[in-house]
Amino acid sequence: MKLPKDPRTFANGQFAEGLPHACHSSEQYGSSSPYARCRGEPIFWWFDTEENPISSSFADTTFTDPALIRNFCIIAHIDHGKSTLADRMLQLTGVIDDRSMRAQYLDRMDIERERGITIKAQNVRLPWKMGEQEHVLHLIDTPGHVDFTYEVSRALEACEGAVLLVDAAQGIEAQTLANLYLALEKDLTIIPVLNKIDLPAADPDRYAAEIAHIIGCEADDVLRVSGKTGAGVKELLDEVVKLVPAPVGDADGPARAMIFDSVYDAYRGVVTYVRVVDGRITPREKVTMMSTGSTHELVEVGIVSPDPKPTQGLGVGEVGYLITGVKDVRQSKVGDTVTSARKGATEPLTGYREPRPMVYSGLYPVDGSDYPVLRDALEKLQLNDAALTYEPETSVALGFGFRCGFLGLLHMEITRERLEREFDLDLISTSPNVVYRVEMDDGAEHIVTNPSYWPEGKARDVFEPMVKCTIISPSEFIGSIMELCQSRRGELGGMDYLSETRVELRYTIPMAEIIFDFFDILKSRTRGYASLDYEEIGEQAADLVKVDILLQGEAVDAFSAIVHRAAAGAYGNKMTTRLKDLIPRQQYEIPIQAAIGAKIIARENIRAIRKDVLAKCYGGDISRKRKLLEKQKAGKKRMKTIGRVDVPQEAFVAALSTDSSADSKKK
């Protein structure tokens, strides 16, 4: 058969099979020909058929009429199938063919794919034809975990509608509610959807009624889809076009675009994802970041569909990326406004705030010589994660390391895992703690991120961060959840039954009480059925004290902790008992004490090793034996006054490491 110059000239729906081998094709059609890629085996070309649509050129052309654009995001709890549903949308709209498809297509990081969670918000531009009219859909796939709520709120700012996705086998969870309230605050159109209807355990009627009760719609309005099989996804996309309002903006005004994400690319520098609100943005023009005032030239402007494609620019309501050649992700801050350097906007878009660390922890290399490697690794990680903060820190016990600030415990765990995996480091992480504000009697104010920074002298007031916790659980576990929250100084704020069998509890709890093991205990008490969400609600004065651990009268900085006065005794007993088992015995007795200031609240003794000095005396005068015993007693007394207790590295690691790191060491 005679082959045309370009495979696209085949009749609609036709494909070429068994093309000539490479030895013929390069001579016959030229090395640049699309056929010349063949390497001696048959190749297939995909064409525009109804079964296998290829992406429409309409979606690849920017400056689209805003009336034909729909910006929406998917909000859900972890593991309710956001990324799988996004995969089906990519396939159905034809931007990815079946060959290129892989599960969780939008989750690019290895750790995201491995844990099955979304960490970075992703976006993609999709073509969709409803009736005879072409539309452009911008889908933003958001993280579901509480630590990344700020990323979710920025993504919501870039949308006019949200698909509220709920697992048909599990129902509404705490994080779903939190993100739903965020979306309602922003006045987004909510499209309720039940996912995973193909599961044997699915109970769509029950959970549709639950969703209807919460958002005030009819149970029949809740769409039912399966991200796995693709059932109902076409109807969902039609519903998005019908219900989500088109973006509104001033096309002739000064350019204003909101940054909702930025990532670092090793070759191209920072790639900034934006949603254009007013005006237009074109390549080679100079733009200003309004929060920092820095000016950059746009090297490239493009769209993601689902891979980056350069375009002539972006217009009102469009979502795309900008590349300026900047090498530091902190130059393009999430939530900031981008405007033209010439005749730019004077008012930024609302809602920008700096991401603020909520949890601090020390990271130390097990091998001290890895310190420079850890420093470089943190620098590289910060290029991609603007919320991560760190500063050098020295510990008498653990040597040189860094005090790192994180958004929450998952953020801390993922950062540590990425450091160990991507940079081949072996790390010790100290127990996480929160930020305290201490007001002294003389009026001075101190911000404390580490117990060793606790100020000397009398503190007038100590303030600790508080969080509002939302717990959703089967109603049979109410008693044990209340008992747990009260033991952590929690105050009940309210309780609502979502259905006959599921209840929502709202508590105000000090953040220090939930950052360590609260979630693990909650899960074990509810057999894994409870879900937790928390948000910071300011600070509150509390009776907090610093507990020092003394070894032979000397405080060891690494073991100090800031705890509530009522829990100080328990912490002191726990640490003294643990250290008694970990520190090797010496020739003399070692007291281990826990103290608040000068007051001792707990004590354990490590008993001395006794050398038998009478072993060589076979009988004889008792005074000879007494003389040897007196000499030994005097020697031990002298050792006790001048001797230092050396705590082995393993003891520090075991006493200080968080449970997860200690467990990984055991393995």
Q: What is the CATH number of the domain that holds 187?
A: 3.40.50.300
458-462 LR contacts (CB < 8 Å, sep 24+): 461/541, 462/436, 462/437, 462/438, 462/541, 462/542, 462/543, 462/544
Amino acid, res. 230: G
- In angstroms, the CA 258 to CA 272 distance is 10
Are 65 and 206 within one domain?
yes
The domain tally of the chain equals: 6
Cβ–Cβ < 8 Å for 214, 180: yes
Inside any domain, residue 110: yes
How many H-runs (helices) and E-runs (strands) does the chain carry?
A: 17, 29
Are 196 and 303 within one domain?
no
The band of 640, judged by pLDDT with boundaries at 50, 70 and 90, is low
Are 469 and 604 within one domain?
no
Q: What is the pLDDT at residue 220? A: 82
Are 80 and 166 within one domain?
yes
Q: Does the pLDDT value for residue 643 go beyond 80? A: no
Inside any domain, residue 128: yes
- In angstroms, the CA 450 to CA 473 distance is 35
330 three-class SS: helix
Nearest by Cα to 342 from 281, 273, 269: 281
Amino acid, res. 138: H
Are 222 and 118 within one domain?
yes
Residue 273, both tokens: 């994802």
Provide the percentage of residues in the chain whose pLDDT is more than 90.
1
- In angstroms, the CA 180 to CA 446 distance is 37
Inside any domain, residue 667: no
Q: Does the pLDDT value for residue 493 go beyond 50? A: yes
| φ, ψ of residue 571 in degrees (nearest 5) | -65, -45
Q: What is the pLDDT at residue 30? A: 40
Are 10 and 78 within one domain?
no
C-alpha separations of 417 from 151, 320, 392, 428 in Å: 21, 30, 20, 12
The residue from 340, 367, 396 where one domain ends is 340
29-33, 174-178, 180-184, 242-246 — which is least confidently predicted?
29-33
Domain harbouring 464, CATH code: 3.30.70.240
pLDDT, average across residues 391-414: 82
Provide the percentage of residues in the chain whose pLDDT is more than 70.
78
Q: What is the pLDDT at residue 574? A: 85
Q: What is the pLDDT at residue 148? A: 65
The band of 57, judged by pLDDT with boundaries at 50, 70 and 90, is low
- Residues forming the annotated binding site for GTP? 79-84, 195-198
Inside any domain, residue 601: yes
Q: What is the pLDDT at residue 97? A: 59
- In angstroms, the CA 382 to CA 331 distance is 12
33-37, 505-509, 587-591 — which is least confidently predicted?
33-37
pLDDT, average across residues 108-119: 47
Inside any domain, residue 505: yes
Q: How many Å separate Cα 435 from the centre of its chain?
A: 19
Full domain range(s) for residue 207? 59-243
Amino acid, res. 343: K
Are 199 and 315 within one domain?
no
Are 96 and 113 within one domain?
yes
The β-bridge relationship of strands 189-195 and 122-130 is unpaired
Q: What is the pLDDT of residues 570-599, one digit of tens each?
A: 888 888 888 888 887 777 778 888 988 888
Inside any domain, residue 666: no
Q: What is the pLDDT at residue 85? A: 81
- Return the bridge partners of 309, or none: 303
290 burial level (CB within 10 Å; 0-12, 13-18, 19+): buried
Q: How many Å separate Cα 344 from the centre of its chain?
A: 34
Q: What is the pLDDT at residue 4? A: 45
Cβ neighbours of 566 (radius 10 Å): 10
Cβ–Cβ < 8 Å for 289, 338: yes
pLDDT, average across residues 614-627: 76
The residue from 397, 432, 467 where one domain ends is 432
C-alpha separations of 481 from 382, 449, 570, 635 in Å: 37, 30, 22, 56
- In angstroms, the CA 186 to CA 176 distance is 16
pLDDT, average across residues 96-108: 53
232 secondary structure, DSSP code: T
- Return the bridge partners of 400, or none: 394
Inside any domain, residue 441: no
- Residues forming the annotated binding site? 79-84, 195-198
Amino acid, res. 102: R
- In angstroms, the CA 470 to CA 494 distance is 10
Are 330 and 399 within one domain?
no
The band of 641, judged by pLDDT with boundaries at 50, 70 and 90, is low
Are 535 and 553 within one domain?
no
Q: What is the pLDDT at residue 14? A: 40
| φ, ψ of residue 112 in degrees (nearest 5) | -65, -45
273 burial level (CB within 10 Å; 0-12, 13-18, 19+): buried
Are 228 and 139 within one domain?
yes
Nearest by Cα to 184 from 203, 159, 208: 159
Residue 589, both tokens: 């007795």
| φ, ψ of residue 412 in degrees (nearest 5) | -65, -45
The band of 508, judged by pLDDT with boundaries at 50, 70 and 90, is very high
Q: What is the pLDDT of residues 125-148, one digit of tens each?
A: 888 888 788 888 888 767 655 566
Nearest by Cα to 647 from 604, 562, 586, 597: 586
Q: What is the pLDDT of residues 356-390, one digit of tens each?
A: 777 888 888 888 888 999 998 888 887 767 678 88
Domain harbouring 589, CATH code: 3.30.70.2570
Q: What pTM value is reported for the model?
A: 0.66
Q: What is the pLDDT at residue 665? A: 40
The β-bridge relationship of strands 491-497 and 502-510 is antiparallel
Cβ neighbours of 150 (radius 10 Å): 17
Q: What is the pLDDT at residue 24? A: 39
Are 122 and 177 within one domain?
yes
Domain harbouring 273, CATH code: 2.40.30.10
R_g of the chain computed on alpha carbons: 31
Q: Does the pLDDT value for residue 662 go beyond 70? A: no
Q: Does the pLDDT value for residue 62 go beyond 80? A: no
- In angstroms, the CA 583 to CA 644 distance is 13
Mean pLDDT for the chain?
Answer: 76
| φ, ψ of residue 191 in degrees (nearest 5) | -110, 105
The residue from 542, 567, 600 where one domain ends is 542
pLDDT, average across residues 506-531: 82
The band of 655, judged by pLDDT with boundaries at 50, 70 and 90, is low
Inside any domain, residue 445: no
